Amino acid sequence: MASGAAGEPGVAASERVYRALMRAYPEEVRRRYAEEMVGYFGDLCREERSSRGPGGVMSLWARTLPELIFTALQERGTVFRRNAYLPAAPGTVARWGALCALLGGVLGVAFHLIEYSLLGALGILTGGSYGSDPFARFFTLLLLLGALSLSSLGLFGLYGTVVARSGRPGLLAGAGAVFSAAAAFLWLSISGYGAVHNLASGTAFFAPFEWLWNGGALLIGPAMVFWFLGLLLLGIAAARERRLPRLLRVLPLVLFAIIAPSYELGGYFEMVGNPVTAVIVMGFAQGLPFVGVALLGWVLLRDDAAGPPVASDGPDGGAREAGDVSGATRPAGRIAGGARSGTSGVERDKEKELHGAIQRHGQLTVAGVALETSLSVKEAGRMLSGLASKGHLGVRVEHGRLLYSLWEDRG
Amino acid sequence: MCAKRRVDPEGLLPLTPVALNILLALADEERHGYGIGVEVRERTGGEMRLGPGTLYGSLKRMVDGGLVEESEGHAGGEADDGRGGYDAGRRRYYRLTGFGGRVLAAELARLEDVVRTAQAKGFLPPPRRGVSSPGEV
């Protein structure tokens, strides 16, 4: 790389060492600037050597090493801060969260239909008691707590989608995710303990843990509050996210809005002295939120099936907002949600292919995309320029060639 | 060259000394990394010596921020600096964007205000006659 380095073994060796030390920087910095940084350092070496001899090179090293350590830590810190709020790819979080929401919602509806509407109504009509044997209790308990746990985890689908679309969660979605995580943790703890309690209660082995049953009951309230707060905050965050489809923006808030009245509806029928209708309606009303959660999961999955966010490359996948020169980058994120609307399935597949190729290579030219995918040069050029003009891809000129890249890369 | 969401230049102030000096180095012409480093060092009388990490870390943030962009290359090729340095064909040149120019102007105006305040308070001698202030350039 350095044309003049061949005749200057000291400089060439310095360059080699500096190149090896470049590993301290995040991959993103190395990919973009390694060659230039090594070249620049080589130039400084040559300059010092010609003006002050080997002592100058030593002095340069003495200045450069601390600077390298400091700036490498700084760059790694920037990458860490970008990734800290979601250590997994937002698309993956969105997908798994959506599945959890769908499954949790279905389980919740099943629980309420079986436990309240079916068994409750049967018990009142026949005067018998259904579902009170240990196995039925175990089954229904698992069904309920599983539904609540999965529904709490399901909110991460919304969180992942917001992050994927906006580049970073912001305070609202971040706080919503924390509440959802707390709710999921509590529900999973309660359901785990509840399952073991049902199986082992009364045994000598379980005796020291019996008292936890009462303690567990105390956790139900906070778990429910956390879940509500998580849903509310994530719902507001989603509603404010203009890049999300309208249905996805509205649904979480609608879901939150139906929770409170749905609980009241069953209470009303009980109050007016219609117990059969009351248990059926109560089961239906209490199950309504789970219908909403299942619907949320379905909408999230449908949104995901429309194609992955083109310009979001993991949790750090944010667009560069103009003008951050003070140290921290401020990823603002670009996605292809808008670009996707109106595109055919074939087009979306090609877009996915293109996205995958750029993600693998970091940056590609039109010809590079054509080589890496099934797209023709003409198609690649059209799609790349279209996505870039809408701000979904970054474009840079290097040695007279246009290079397209995702907005940010994981370091 | 990246499509960017523009923000108010004032919102980026104050600039770090390194960012300010790099923008100043690019104010009159496009330069490669080494050219920027040399210009900054000479202009500051050797006070500011930019190491590779500092220089390219700042350039990265400024390119990402839309203040600086990579140019398509030096039309006239590179004049050899006589040191047999880094392969001229592989150097990447940087230039100020319009937005970067506005940020630089805003920062200079801010500094000018600071100097005026200092002069008004008697900490600095008043400006000499016939010397234009940065804002008048």
Q: What is the number of domains present in chain A?
A: 3
Pairwise CB contact (< 8 Å): A396 & B2: yes
Write the ipTM.
0.83
Domain termination residue (choose one: A63, A83, A103): A83
Residue B67 lies inside a defined structural domain of this protein: yes
Q: Do residues A228 and A298 both lie within one domain?
A: yes
Give contacts of A 163-192 with B, CB under 8 A.
none
Pairwise CB contact (< 8 Å): B57 & A396: no
Chain A residues close to B57, C-beta within 8 Å: 29, 71, 74-75
Chain A residues close to B63, C-beta within 8 Å: 396
Q: What is the number of domains present in chain B?
A: 1
Q: Do residues A135 and A283 both lie within one domain?
A: yes
Name the residue facing B5 among A25, A74, A322 (closest C-beta). Answer: A322
How far is it, in rounded angstroms, from Cα A106 to Cα A291?
7
Q: Do residues A73 and A150 both lie within one domain?
A: no
Q: Do residues A184 and A332 both lie within one domain?
A: no
Q: Stretch A253-280: mean pLDDT, rounded?
A: 74
Query: What is the predicted pLDDT for the residue at B90?
Result: 64
Structural domain of residue A320, as residue ranges?
312-411
Chain B residues close to A399, C-beta within 8 Å: 73
Three-class SS state of B31: strand
Q: Do residues A272 and A328 both lie within one domain?
A: no
Any B CB within 8 A of A59 CB = no
Q: Do residues A261 and A387 both lie within one domain?
A: no
Structural domain of residue B98, as residue ranges?
9-76+88-125
The full length of chain B comes to: 137
Task: For residue A327, give how far its alpha carbon lies from the nearest alpha carbon of chain B (Å).
Answer: 7
Any A CB within 8 A of B42 CB = no
Query: What is the predicted pLDDT for the residue at A318?
Result: 35
Q: What is the mean pLDDT of chain A?
A: 75
Residue B66 lies inside a defined structural domain of this protein: yes
Q: Stretch B74-88: mean pLDDT, rounded?
A: 49
Query: What is the predicted pLDDT for the residue at B74?
Result: 56
Query: What is the predicted pLDDT for the residue at A308?
Result: 44
List CB contacts of A405: < 8 A, sequence separation 6 or more.
Answer: A358, A362, A363, A364, A393, A394, A395, A396
Model confidence at B135: pLDDT above 80? no
Residue B130 lies inside a defined structural domain of this protein: no
pLDDT tens digits, one per residue of A190-206? 877 877 777 777 777 77
Q: Calculate the CA A335 to chain-centre distance.
A: 14
Pairwise CB contact (< 8 Å): A67 & B92: no
Chain A residues close to B72, C-beta within 8 Å: 397, 400
Residue B33 lies inside a defined structural domain of this protein: yes
Q: Do residues A107 and A159 both lie within one domain?
A: yes
Residue B136 lies inside a defined structural domain of this protein: no
Confidence bin at A304 (pLDDT 50/70/90): low
Chain A residues close to B67, C-beta within 8 Å: 322-323, 325
Any B CB within 8 A of A202 CB = no
Chain B residues close to A25, C-beta within 8 Å: 53
Return the CATH number at A364.
Answer: 1.10.10.10
Three-class SS state of A240: helix
Q: Do residues A26 and A79 both lie within one domain?
A: yes
Query: What H or E segment, with its residue span, contains residue A394?
Result: strand A394-398
pLDDT tens digits, one per residue of A211-237? 777 777 778 888 888 988 888 888 888
Name the most confidently modeled range: A183-187, A229-233, B108-112: B108-112
Domain termination residue (choose one: A65, A83, A101): A83
Q: Do residues A122 and A241 both lie within one domain?
A: yes
Q: Do residues A288 and A271 both lie within one domain?
A: yes
Domain termination residue (choose one: A305, A328, A353): A305
Confidence bin at A173 (pLDDT 50/70/90): confident
Pairwise CB contact (< 8 Å): A2 & B87: yes
Query: What is the predicted pLDDT for the residue at B44?
Result: 93
Any B CB within 8 A of A42 CB = yes
Q: Stretch A365-379: mean pLDDT, rounded?
A: 75
Q: Do residues A399 and A332 both lie within one domain?
A: yes
Pairwise CB contact (< 8 Å): A325 & B12: yes
Residue B131 lies inside a defined structural domain of this protein: no
List CB contacts of B93: < 8 A, sequence separation 6 or more.
Answer: B30, B31, B32, B70, B71, B73, B74
Q: Do residues A147 and A294 both lie within one domain?
A: yes
Return the CATH number at B72.
Answer: 1.10.10.10
The full length of chain A comes to: 411
pLDDT tens digits, one per residue of B8-54? 888 888 999 999 999 999 999 999 999 999 999 999 999 999 999 99
How far is it, in rounded angstroms, from Cα A306 to Cα A244?
12
Query: What is the predicted pLDDT for the residue at A252?
Result: 84
Residue B62 lies inside a defined structural domain of this protein: yes
Pairwise CB contact (< 8 Å): A322 & B33: no
Share of chain A above pLDDT 90, in %: 12
Residue B41 lies inside a defined structural domain of this protein: yes
Chain B residues close to A39, C-beta within 8 Å: 33-34, 85-87, 90-91
